[in-house]
Amino acid sequence: MSNESSIIEYDFSEEMKNSYRDYAVSVIIARALPDIRDGLKPVQRRVLYAMQELSLYPDRPHRKSARIVGDTMGKYHPHGDSSIYEALVHMSEDFSLSLPLIDGHGNFGSIDGDSAAAMRYTEARLSTAAMTLLENLDMGLVDFAPNFDESEQEPLVLPATIPNLLINGTTGIAVGMATNIPPHNPVEVIDGTIAYMDNPDISTEELMNYIKGPDFPTGGIVVNADALKDIYETGEGKIRVRAKYDIESSDAGRKNIVITEIPYTSSGRKGKLLEQLSGLMRDKVFDEIYDVRDESSKEGIRMVIEVKKGRDIDNLLNGLFKKTGLEDTYGVNMLAVKDKQPGTFSLKAMLAEFVSFQEEIYAKKYKYLLEKAERRHEVVEGLIKAVDIIDLIIEILRGSKSVAQAKACLTEGDVSDIAFKSLESSIQARSLHFTELQADAILSMQLSRLIGLEILKLHEENDTLLKNIAEYNLILSSKRALHKTIKLALKAYKRQFKVDRKTELDNLTQSDYVEKVVEEDIYVLIDRFGYAKSIDSNAYSKADDSVLSEFRNIILMKNTDSLCLFTTDANMYKIKASAFPKGRVKDKGVLMHSLCKIGNEEVILYIPFEELFESQLVFVTRNGYVKRVSGIEFESSRNQINTSKLEDDDSIVYIKALSTEDVLADNKKVVFLTNKNYTLSYPVSQINEYKKTSRGVTGIKLEKGDYLRLAFLVGPDDKSVSVDSKEINVSRFKEGKRADKGKKIRI
């Protein structure tokens, strides 16, 4: 065959589209989403079936998890051992499922987030609840199909006799869709199922008299119970779940908030929740917290948040619920697979699908039992009849030359070539018409069955079989009788799996956290690399001068204030004092760029807002413009505002804050130095006050090609200014009026 004839051409985009569609369907149907009937994903179903094949029943010893995973992977699920073991571990978690399906022995992880031990160290067997999904699997109640290599048969669905999908819930992410069904209380779900069977037209609101809402294994409180009706009607929505807590007294007049139940969203991640609370205390996000510790044990969860003396606990709780996982959102999406198609189901629709499935499997079950009972009744009836003519039967057997000859006589009355002792026996044998099944049973009957007690047992068994056959026919004769049988089984499961509701349902509003900060002095330290942090005044007083000298800027301010940054690009950025991380002098801090949206601009002035508000700022630009602006102008709710109207080639070169006293005393002079060393100085009173959005007025007249290099504010006691590390006497600067050309000096 030539190379050209062996090449098959495909359109790339069409091939990608088809391949991705096949992949998406495979993930949706064969991996990520549960079946609406048994509530299991394929990997879960295969694990349970493999365990039944290994006879790992609740009354049998545990078996190594590695053996279970190996059988599941080798026979039914060739997708890797880790996914199979993770599914097995998940089905054993009593903090994830209302009714765990696996009884694990060994380290199967914890609610804290600890992972399970390796599969070679753990053991498992089926739980009692799992048996309700696997019962009567040998009766042909569900369809089987070949496995991946057609070497085995596996069930397409398990004959679940409890509403597992609603009781245990599930979560899964497919391609373009996801499912998130919350767990419910087994008793409530069974009561709701029975109520639906009694009245298929029942409304969602009436159903919720039985199924009140989700019942999470971790407990907690649903704080938006009014939203549940809409969620159950549409199959989608959001549930707000809050932790349960107690308030206890502690040492030194302090109070403890003791968390006893956590939201279901933190199930398996309690350790991270504790780290989050500890981080809030460490970073002093909530100043009220004195200590956080975990006192949980086998008896239950006990996370202690110790509150400082005299602090508002209710206000702190509002903050904790808002900023931590102690209150979280559970997104409900009741998505499942029906007839190989994913769909979103309402609560009522889920119950309808389950009841329809029960009708199907119970009908198959009782048809199977009826056929079995009828076959057995046929055999017993034949044995009873044979016992009554046992002498003739024995004579036929002794006179026959083969089993086939004897069987023909029993079923058809064929006495050919059979040696009878008398003509009467031969005539009587011609009238025999046993069935094939009866004849086989008679031919294999043991002589011990001729004992009087055994004959009595046959009659008793016959009566029982007739009674059972009548019962089975009655059950199969009407839907009402079938429903009665299903309800009796559900009520038995209700007694078997009875557990009290753990999750409370309520409607609670979330109040805002009011930050109550004790006002104190802090120092914001900014090094030459732009890293910033804050320290309290006590830490500052203890710091060595040599250490403090490493910081380019040290700003004293209140912890309730904001720091304002003025840049060369005429922008002002505002950062709350609380945004600066608190720590020690030697801590690294955080980059200023992460605290505000400042770019590559050069910061000219750092000033606390309280000081700015009571000051007047003198602005000097590169093109020689000058203005005076009241600090009140910079009051804004925004964290970034413009401070001047600049020309395209202009920038800010100098900003200085003046106190009200300095302005009134008129004892300050502004000093200019241009790039060509022209100088000018005059009193600040000559600088008019303008709005922040103005450009200002000419402060010094510049020659063509010249620009303002430096500017200073000097007082009566200032004798010199520093220029290029040289001290220049202020008297050398020309005194004049605003907008004068200035005097050139030698530097």
Distance in Å from the first CA to the final CA of the chain? 92
Helices and strands, number each (H, E), in the chain: 22, 35
Tokens 């102690």 belong to residue: 326
User: What are the C-alpha distances in Å from 738 to residues 117, 627, 688, 741?
Assistant: 81, 11, 10, 9
Cβ proximity of 240 and 222 under 8 Å = yes
- Kindly give the pairing relationship between strand 615-621 and strand 652-659: antiparallel
Contacts of 13 (CB under 8 A, 6+ apart): none
Dihedral angle over CA of 91, 92, 95, 99, nearest 10: 70
CA distance 612 to 589: 25
Query: CB under 8 Å, gap of 24 or more: what pairs does 431-435 form?
Result: 434/382, 434/385, 434/386, 434/410, 435/378, 435/382, 435/411
SS3 (DSSP) at 35: strand
Closest CA to 314 of 514, 578, 503, 506: 514
Q: Residue 727 class from Cβ within 10 Å (0-12 exposed, 13-18 middle, 19+ buried)? A: exposed
Beta bridge partners of 620: 626, 654
Known active-site residue 121 = yes
User: What are the C-alpha distances in Å from 397 to residues 4, 93, 473?
Assistant: 77, 63, 37
Cβ proximity of 271 and 301 under 8 Å = no
- The torsion angles phi and psi of 101, rounded to 5 degrees, stand at -95, -10
**Greatest CA span in the chain, whole angstroms?**
159
Cβ proximity of 565 and 575 under 8 Å = yes
| Tokens found for residue 158 | 């398990």
Closest CA to 397 of 443, 344, 464: 443
Q: Residue 448 class from Cβ within 10 Å (0-12 exposed, 13-18 middle, 19+ buried)? A: exposed
The vertex-335 CA angle with 77 and 47, nearest 5°, equals 20
| Tokens found for residue 339 | 């007839």
By residue count, the chain amounts to: 747
Cβ proximity of 481 and 475 under 8 Å = yes
Active-site position among 57, 121, 330, 472? 121
Query: CB under 8 Å, gap of 24 or more: what pairs does 594-598 form?
Result: 595/532, 596/565, 596/639, 596/640, 597/573, 597/639, 597/640, 598/565, 598/567, 598/571, 598/573
Closest CA to 266 of 96, 151, 486, 426: 96
| Tokens found for residue 357 | 């499935």
CA distance 399 to 686: 145
SS3 (DSSP) at 106: coil
SS3 (DSSP) at 590: strand
Q: Tell me the catalytic residues.
A: 121
